[in-house]
Structure 1
Amino acid sequence: MKKILFFSALITGSLFFAQKAKVYEKPNYSINVPEGWKSTNDSEIVNIFPTSEIGAITISEYHGLALPKEEMKKFVLDLYKSIDPESKVKESRGKRGYTEYFYEYFDEKGKLFWITKAFQKDKDLYLVTINCGQKFWNGNYMTQFNETFNSFKIKK
């Protein structure tokens, strides 16, 4: 009985403290934006960030891009001028026929964490990144960034 009460209290507490979010809709994708965060659309590059501006999630979409699948890992590493081996960029088969690439990078000079997901199918590419200052990459900010990042959904 104590286990059931504990489990019920845990679920109720997590629902109580769960972050509210609004959905940012584009014709080809959607993403949940935490309440109180801002979003901008600068030349079709979307930035989502907390009001403290300690980091951001950036979404870029490209269509008609003739980037061979064999070059994607190198492309992701080149975004950061990283000398990491291509094996650090994880590749998996995603939903809706997209190949998903995942890469984590720490910029020693700027003290920034970068996390990138790239979704590629034919000549379509969606690039979704998190950048966040090292001293803020913990606790609530890390959770909010990851929940928002993981809520990205391609519609077509």
Structure 2
Amino acid sequence: MIKKILFSVAVFTGSLFFAQKAKVYESPNYSINVPEGWKSTNDSEIVNIFPTSEIGAITISEYHGLELPKEQMKKFVLDLNKSTDPENKVKESRSKKGYTEYFYEYFDEKGKLYWITKAFQKDKDLYLITINCGQKFWNGNYMTQFNEAFNSFKIKK
């Protein structure tokens, strides 16, 4: 019994030791976890979060009072990536707080970049969050850090 308790404590302590540390980037309308050692900038309300090696970035922008009909959102997401993919490649789902979530993954052959886009739309509000990362870095730890930060994005209202 004591061996089981010691083993459990060791596993728990080890998982805390190896877990990625992150700080929280707070805006009035959303939050996102920023991996330890990464930088964040806010240029005219467009937030960029990136590793110091600058091999890619997460970009967040928000728009309010935007007249973009829901029927045009998939085309809008494809146009952002200059993609000729059919609109059914953009996945649509309902998310919490009444937002419609759009998700799209794209590999830019010319630039050798992975792009992942999420858009959250409700009425005239739109939150746009993207990852771009060089192909040769999109593996292992960078991919994990990008995805963990990306998936931690939360709209507050």
| Fold agreement, TM-score > 0.5 | yes
Normalising by structure 2, what TM-score?
0.93
* Aligned residue in 2 for 1:152: 153
Aligned length: 156
Q: Which runs of 5+ in 2 are unaligned?
A: none
Please list the CA deviations of residues 45-92 of structure 1 after superposition, one character each: whole Å capped at 9, or x if unmatched: 000000000000000000000100000000000011111010000000
* Aligned residue in 2 for 1:91: 92
Q: Secondary structure at the match of 1:81?
A: coil
Q: Which amino acid aligns with 2:110?
A: K
Q: 2:4, 2:107 → 1: CA distance?
A: 41
Q: 1:153, 1:94 → 2: CA distance?
A: 11
Normalising by structure 1, what TM-score?
0.94
Q: 2:114, 2:7 → 1: CA distance?
A: 36
Q: Which amino acid aligns with 2:68?
A: L
Q: Secondary structure at the match of 1:53?
A: coil
Q: 2:143, 2:4 → 1: CA distance?
A: 30
* Aligned residue in 2 for 1:123: 124
* Aligned residue in 1 for 2:30: 29
Q: Which runs of 5+ in 1 are unaligned?
A: none
Q: Which amino acid aligns with 1:98?
A: Y
